[in-house]
Structure 1
Amino acid sequence: MNRRVILIFLFVSLLLVTRSFAYFLVTYVVRSGDSIHTISRELGVSMSTIIDFNDLSDPNNIKAGDRLKLPQPDGLIYEVQSGDTIDGIAKLFFAPVKELLSANNLSSSSLINPGQRVFIPMSLINMYQYVPQSTPYRWPVYGVISSSYGWRTHPVNGGASFHSGLDIAAPQGTPIFAASKGVVIAAGVNGGYGNAVDIQHDNGYVTRYGHMSKICVYVGQRVDAGSLIGRVGSTGVSTGPHVHFEVKDPKMNTLDPLSMLPTRDLMYVIRREDDGIAAGGK
């Protein structure tokens, strides 16, 4: 009986005993020959989830004997911030509210408190994302635009400066998703961008995501649109939690990201029973 079968057996057994859990953690002891890819396949947990739960600085350098914490089922944790609501958290993960409540055994009248941990099953994440039909990219994060592309007064030094991207403010720990499929070509500290990730897309364009609190991908990793790549933070030169989203053409000229994204009322959309969509929040 392999490890995945054992885990499924334990999961089902726990489910029969109690319905009061959203998820449980297992400890996986890395074996000789293991890689993040093989562990991901064997346990049915995405590579980004493994990195996110274990703060792996170099996922390609795990070694026999390392102990990894993995959620069952696959999913992500969000730590409630002051002022958060379940509706708001659902939008951060592009997830449906009703199913999120059910997954955490909460009701619409349940209170949530700062520091509380909410589990979002992977099966719910990005269910309510808008899949672009006429633009190259989806919104990488649900939030509020705090600074646009172009000339501005720099928020830190007060001087005139050209802002090469779009700042989207969101609570600390909000997930950041790849705007389109591609390959991670940079992941680490990048000057004033703080913790940042660059993705080269199949059309030769590059997107950058800056000021992360946590990076959940590694250089060389192939990602899809909507793959978790990190968490919102305020690293580097920053005045508060946000993601700096930047788009560069194949000649490395920056472009206004708003020209490449769906309209703001399509950040979060609700699927109707007829498979149509409706704006679910700006």
Structure 2
Amino acid sequence: MDMDSVIVGQRIHRRQKPVRIIPSANAFIYTRDNSASRRAERREPVTIANQRPGRRAPAFRWPQFVAQRLSRPSANGAGSGVAAIAPVSLLRAAAAFRQNAAGLGQPNPAGLSGRASQASRLRRIALLAGCALLVILAGAWLIMPVRPAPAVEIGKLELPAPLNLDTYLLEMFRPAEPDSSAPAGELPVMLDTFDYRVAANDTLEAIGRRFGIRVETLISLNTIRDVRRLQAGAILHIPNLDGIIHTVKPGDSLAALARNYDKSIYDLVDVNDLDSEVLSPNQVLFIPGARLPEVELQRALGTLVAWPLTGRISSPFGYRNSPITGVRQFHGGLDIVGPRNTPIGAAMNGRVAETGYSAIYGNFVILTHHDGYQTLYAHLSSIQVRSGQSLSQGTVVGLLGSTGLSTGPHLHFGFYRNGRALDPISMLPRR
């Protein structure tokens, strides 16, 4: 039996060298690794032109083909067609069918070789392996224990793990908390004042506490020379921020004032609502946050000069009859009587300019103070300071005595400015 009797309706011409088999549109030829496959490579390709005219090529199915061939009567008319088919050929055909059916489950597309089918199978295997890996990773993530999100610090926001979108958005858009290290109150951008009428028994210190303003601010803004003379019914200007008044002098500039008071030019311009940086002499400016010099504050409070000794005044400032000679002459100080060796305190802050002994004043000490002021302490029994020493108000400069021209223990206290004698009573606080 030859292959023409097996493949019905197909015309195959033998060729001497193998050619590529091109299946027709309605039939498929499966390659085989056995001798039947090698014989098929030497056949002429099956085309529609080789089919019989007017006959449609049947679908190529191995089981149906085998069933039809087995049911066909033999050539000699005896029995079924089983004896007409070589057992070896049927076995090879069945083996080829199983081999191709065990592949991808469908025939190879037209024009693809066995190598292309193998590459397709490898791609499917790789795809299945990738999908399995993703499933494994997803399962591991789902069974992973959930840990609480770490604490979030403002300014160093980090995404919690696992991500909670609601918490993240709340932290991102939460308003910033105020800085506790910042100053308690920011300076207003412009000075504003209101009037206050002083009531009976009011003090400047009590008024300042009531409105949250320093005493020195009220002194400067209202040009108070002596707070002890504040009277009921007086009108005070109460500002909305602390600071002092500065009267512009020739040559002053905003840059110089800002440098002297350690402020910015913009603060001075904003607070005083200036239209220009050019200043005029006698122009009044408010310096925000500035402090009064200690001397001016002490003068207004009445504490600039302190009594060096508490005692009776035996001889005032001015002309008098000398207790030694009886001659009328000028007395350039104040005599204060007290017990011998009573401590004598410095009337003001200052520096020791001179110490020594005089035939008239006995043991003496001269102190130099601000603005050309000087004080003299005479008739001391002993000196307790040295030249060049800096002193604060109340520091003991010596002990009360009766050295020099003296009729008894007393202190001669002199007050000078630029070398001219002043009445100490005009400088000392009332007692």
Q: What TM-score does the superposition give when structure 1 sets the normalisation length?
A: 0.46
| Higher percent of residues as strand | 1
Q: Name the structure, 1 or 2, with higher relative contact order (CA <8 Å, separation 6+).
A: 1
Q: What TM-score does the superposition give when structure 2 sets the normalisation length?
A: 0.30
